[in-house]
Amino acid sequence: MTAPREDMPPDRNLALELVRVTEAAALQAARYVGMGDKEAADQAAVDGMHAVLHTIHMDGVVVIGEGEKDEAPMLANGEIVGDGTPPHVDIAVDPLDGTRLTAQGRPNAVAVIALSERGTMWDPGPVFYMEKMAAGDGLVDLLDFDRPLGKTVELIAERRGVEVRDVMVVVLDRPRHEEGIKAIRDAGARVRLITDGDVAGALMAAAPDRSVDLLWGIGGTPEGVITAAALKCYGGGMIGRLRPQGDEERQKAAAAGYDVDKVMTHDDLVKGENCFFSATGVTDGDMLAGVHYEGTRGATTESLVMRSRSGTVRRIASRHDRTKLRELTGYRLG
């Protein structure tokens, strides 16, 4: 038997292995839908993801995780995951993108993971927030932070051959976005406000069969890297620019060598053309159905599994026997 090469690139089969990771996180987190405890929901997703992640044939380093090693009990930045065999890869995880959505029983909570070849994922360092724009194929060249937002909306309408009022922009519902929301509406376009989950929001903007044309706003930098991986697989693209919160964070960024004025693309955030992305719905949403229980043992999930090199996008509907999964993993999954 031939030994695996040390420089072995990620194989297409990893995509189908990763879906087991996000399914486990979703099944575990779904127990807390509507329970009002976002910390418990997040920890449950971490536990479920962690239970399966170490069974995957890879030597992975968590670049985007749940926090620093000393503060995060599992899936911390810098943690080694997988069974230690090649390929050598970078991992970005958000076990529960939408902790508040889950706690409140709202739509669009998902469990996500992204993977790329070692050394290709950008490390966001000390800056926790990033301004983002994302759109689908045919609109990416119109993304521009320096152009007035209302003008960008008008250009999108012109490119699509529709009225401005037919353009929909998805924006996180935050006070910091009030001026941008006004600019979008003053231009004549519509705004869809979301409370959380801008990874799912970016996928909506990139999807040709959804009514959203653009994602705009300031959200988490780690989610920006995950979004970049997703869009490299799914199609479309994004730009991002760091937004330090206060002088102290700005000084830390400068000391670490980060250019906070640089506009980055998805290719800057995830280099190379061999990355993978998997997302499984926790609550029902625009892109994915959430976890649904069947009797005392069964559960169903829906996932998006994608690979950038082939451009393959799979939508996977799965039925699970929770009793058997518990026997295999030691966790109560769902």
DSSP H helical ranges for the chain = 13-29, 38-53, 99-104, 149-160, 178-186, 198-206, 221-234, 247-255, 266-269, 322-329
d(CA 114, CA 78): 15
Is residue 116 within 8 A of residue 270, CB to CB? The reply is yes
- Least Cα distance to 202 among 175, 166, 229, 241 occurs for 229
- Least Cα distance to 174 among 131, 232, 206 occurs for 131
Burial 161-197 (b: 16+ CB within 10 A, else e): eeebeebbbbbbeeeebeebbebbeebebbbbebebb
3-state helix/strand/coil string of 130-166: EEEEEECCCCHHHCCCCCCHHHHHHHHHHHHCCCHHH
Q: What residues are designated binding site for Mn(2+)?
A: 42, 66, 94, 97, 223
Q: What residues are designated binding site?
A: 42, 66, 94, 97-99, 129, 174-176, 196-198, 220, 223
d(CA 57, CA 190): 45
Q: What residues are designated binding site for substrate?
A: 97-99, 129, 174-176, 196-198, 220
Q: What are the structure tokens assigned to 300, written together?
A: 């169903």
d(CA 182, CA 132): 17
d(CA 101, CA 78): 28
d(CA 40, CA 292): 19
Site of tokens 């994915």: 288
- Least Cα distance to 79 among 99, 49, 109 occurs for 49
Q: What are the structure tokens assigned to 125, written together?
A: 């360092």
d(CA 241, CA 231): 17
